[in-house]
Amino acid sequence: MQDGLRPTPSQLSQSYPPSKRLPPSHTPVNRPTSPTHSSSSSGALTHSATRHGRLNDWFTTAMPRAHIKQDGESMFSVSGMDVTHDTVHLETITDEVSPSTPSLHQKGKGNLKGLNGDLVKHYGKKKALKVLEGQMAIEDGNLYGMSLIRAMYSTVWLEWWIAIIMKSCTAALQVTYPLITHQLIDQLTRAHAYHNDPANNPPPKSVVYSFGLAFALFAMVQASSLFSYQALQRGSVIGFMMRAALIDLIGSKSIKLSSTARVEMSSGKMMTMVSADASFLNFSAPMALDLVVQPVQIVLIAIFGVIFRDAVNASSFGVVFSYALSAAALFSSLVSLYAQVEMEMNNAERIIRYTSLPAEPPATLSSDPKIWPSHGSVKFKVLSLRYSSDAPWILKKLNFSVGPGEKVGVIGRTGEGKSSLVGAIMRTVGDEGINGQVEIDGVDIKNIGIDTLRNGVGLIPQESFLFEGTVRENMDPKGHNIDAHLKSLLSLIHSNPIMPSSQSVREKFRLDAPVSDGGNNFSGGEKQLLALMRALARNTKILLLDEATSSVDGETDALIQRIIQNHLKGVTLISIAHRLHTLAYYDRILVLDGGRVTEVDFTLLFRSIWQR
């Protein structure tokens, strides 16, 4: 039988004839069950299982039973054929009954025929009849209700009643401690009157009585707060228990593991435990806080009582005393407000830092040429770069040039300054961190507006970013190209002989195809292809590739290299790469080591080796 599938009644009837399905001796029959059902279901219903196992049992047994009953089988005969739980032996309930036996789920007391005597003796006639009718199930000698409400109650009954008791205690204390407050105020009033006029006023009760009332009031206020938080916490625990039961059910149904693997701690169960523990701490923190700040109200009462014992009458003292009872809540809110202010100050610190950063160079300058660059030559003159005034130099006095239309590959180990070279060209580092010059078509890029520079130089990073919208908007954000030109660029993907495009690829690379935020509906290779199409649509004279193909598959890499060879002629290309075969058809290769150019040579020898 396939793992995870319940057999139909007809299949069970064929597998277990009536003579074997209900043996006269009522001895449980060992039936073959799937490992998944055996481990997950029986484990959830044993005493050693989690308390939400009974709720899972309702989902995993009651719902399939109801489904089978709709197929025309009686609940009585179907219960006798249940193979979901390998430890549930309902054959001990009844004598031999054929599948055609009518259902015994009827009203009245005449339905006890066929009940097993031992079952009635052990559980009673009422429960035995419920087992017979499918309303209850037997697991390791224990009875479990098949009702969802009963399963929920069996799962959370302890926490439910604890929460009710805690809430009741909170209500009782909130009603009672004002009476104690009244007694304490009367005692203080009598003491105040007797202190002012001993001759005309009766003496108050003893000081021990006053301290007893004060201590009782303190204990009641503290207990009320603790009970209130306990009730809130228990309510949250009930929710977590129900959520854990559903998560456990979903995990056991969706992930088909072996019986041995189900015993181990799964990642989903671990996440649930972590979430529950974190929430428990979240609700326990206010309780611990109140234990510290609640005595403040008693201290305030004592201070005001001593300072104003001769100047405050009973009514005024009662008003002050009533407000003093809420002092703990005030102090609790001050702590939370302090934490919130601390968090907001972090945000303010970031804002101040960003506002104090030096501004970028002007976007455009009046001296910017209208068409630039026109040739695509790049020259580095004693270029050094670092990211801050106290940081070490990443690039150290580079001197080399790239001719118009030349393709140069830059290689080197990690941390040698390859990506920093791209940053120097695009001016992503402040001018204070750059010494030397970078000239494009004989113009120092420091004398060019930052937008003019970045519009004239194309860049494909290692992970390209796509905007939410359409493929057309991502290829040509400013709308400078007509649709015919954009379609001709997309045809480079559709008609390539290296990677014949499937129907899904054709659907994605349409001008009106949707692009989600960040290009989440595109794979990594498809993002890089679309970024390359964007660079081709811009028709720049200089294109920088910063490990653009390092995270794509071999077929996509081959397609990108083919497009570069055939459709970027006349474009100056500087490519940073770790895959050396991608540079086989470049004009020169430049090696960076320690921030310096150590080798520059043509790729003819390398290309001949690669072609062998």
Nearest to 454 by CA among 577, 325, 360: 360
pLDDT of 254-312, one tens digit each?
555 444 444 455 555 656 665 665 566 555 555 555 565 556 656 656 666 666 666 55
- Its domain, for residue 120, covers 9-146
The answer to whether position 332 is within a domain reads: no
pLDDT at 81: 35
Q: Residue 572 is inside which H or E element, if any?
A: strand 572-576
Q: Residue 277 is inside which H or E element, if any?
A: helix 267-293
- Does 12 score more than 50 pLDDT? no
Residue that finishes a domain, picked among 258, 291, 325: 325
pLDDT at 161: 82
More confident residue, 85 or 566: 566
Q: How big is the CA angle at 161 (ends 156 and 162), to the nearest 5 degrees? A: 100
106 shares its domain with 243: no
Number of domains in the chain: 3
The four Cα atoms 309, 312, 316, 319 give a dihedral, to 10 degrees, of -30
CATH number at residue 482: 3.40.50.300
Contact residues for 249 (Cβ-Cβ < 8 A; gap 6+): 55, 56, 59, 60
451 shares its domain with 513: yes
pLDDT at 94: 36
* CB neighbours of residue 436 within 10 Å: 16
Confidence of residue 109 (pLDDT cuts 50, 70, 90): very low
Q: Is 301 exposed, middle or buried (0-12, 13-18, 19+ CB in 10 A)?
A: buried
Confidence of residue 485 (pLDDT cuts 50, 70, 90): very high
- Does 574 score more than 90 pLDDT? yes
- Does 580 score more than 80 pLDDT? yes
Min mean pLDDT across 190-204, 235-249, 515-529, 531-545 is at 235-249
pLDDT at 358: 81
393 shares its domain with 535: yes
Confidence of residue 450 (pLDDT cuts 50, 70, 90): very high
The answer to whether position 355 is within a domain reads: no
Q: Which two tokens stand for residue 178?
A: 């004002």
More confident residue, 554 or 511: 511
Min mean pLDDT across 85-94, 263-272, 370-379 is at 85-94
pTM given for the model:
0.50
Coil/strand/helix, residue 481: coil
583 shares its domain with 497: yes
The answer to whether position 606 is within a domain reads: yes
- Does 589 score more than 70 pLDDT? yes
The answer to whether position 333 is within a domain reads: no
DSSP symbols for 542-563: EEEEESTTTTS-HHHHHHHHHH
Phi and psi (nearest 5°) for 120?
A: -65, -40
- Does 66 score more than 50 pLDDT? no
Q: How big is the CA angle at 391 (ends 386 and 396), to the nearest 5 degrees? A: 40
pLDDT at 601: 82
pLDDT at 22: 37
The answer to whether position 358 is within a domain reads: no
184 shares its domain with 117: no
- Does 420 score more than 90 pLDDT? yes
533 shares its domain with 475: yes
pLDDT of 159-217, one tens digit each?
778 878 887 787 777 767 766 777 788 888 888 888 888 888 888 888 898 888 888 88
The answer to whether position 348 is within a domain reads: no
Asked whether the beta carbons of 509 and 564 are under 8 A apart, the reply is no
pLDDT at 275: 63
pLDDT of 395-410, one tens digit each?
999 999 999 999 999 9
Confidence of residue 488 (pLDDT cuts 50, 70, 90): very high
386 shares its domain with 426: yes
Residue type, 485: H
